[in-house]
Amino acid sequence: MLLSAQAYQKIDRELAKFPADQRQSAIMAALAIAQEEKGWLAPEVLEDVANYIGVPPIAVQEVATFYNMFDTRPVGKHKIAVCTNLPCALRDGEKAGDYLKRKLGVDYRETTPDGLFTLVEGECMGACGDSPVLIVNNKHMCVRMTEEKLDALVQGLKAQSQGESA
Query: Using CA atoms, how far apart are residues 69 and 19, in angstroms rounded to an integer?
Result: 26
Q: In what order do the strands lie in the sheet with 140-142?
A: 110-111, 117-122, 78-83, 134-136, 140-142
Contacting range for ligand FES; rule: CB under 6 A; set: 24-32, 37-45, 62-70, 85-93: 85-93
Contact status: 125 vs ligand FES (CB under 6 A): yes
Contact status: 143 vs ligand FES (CB under 6 A): no
Contact status: 83 vs ligand FES (CB under 6 A): yes
Residue choice 34, 41, 46, 127 for contact with ligand FES (CB under 6 A): 127
Contact status: 90 vs ligand FES (CB under 6 A): no
83 a known binding residue? yes
The interaxial angle of helices 57-66 and 43-53, nearest 10 deg, is 120
124 a known binding residue? yes
128 a known binding residue? yes
Contacts of 87 (CB under 8 A, 6+ apart): 124, 128, 131
Residue 124 CB neighbours (<10 A): 13
What is the contact surface with ligand FES in residues (CB under 6 A)? 83, 85, 87-88, 124-128, 131, 133
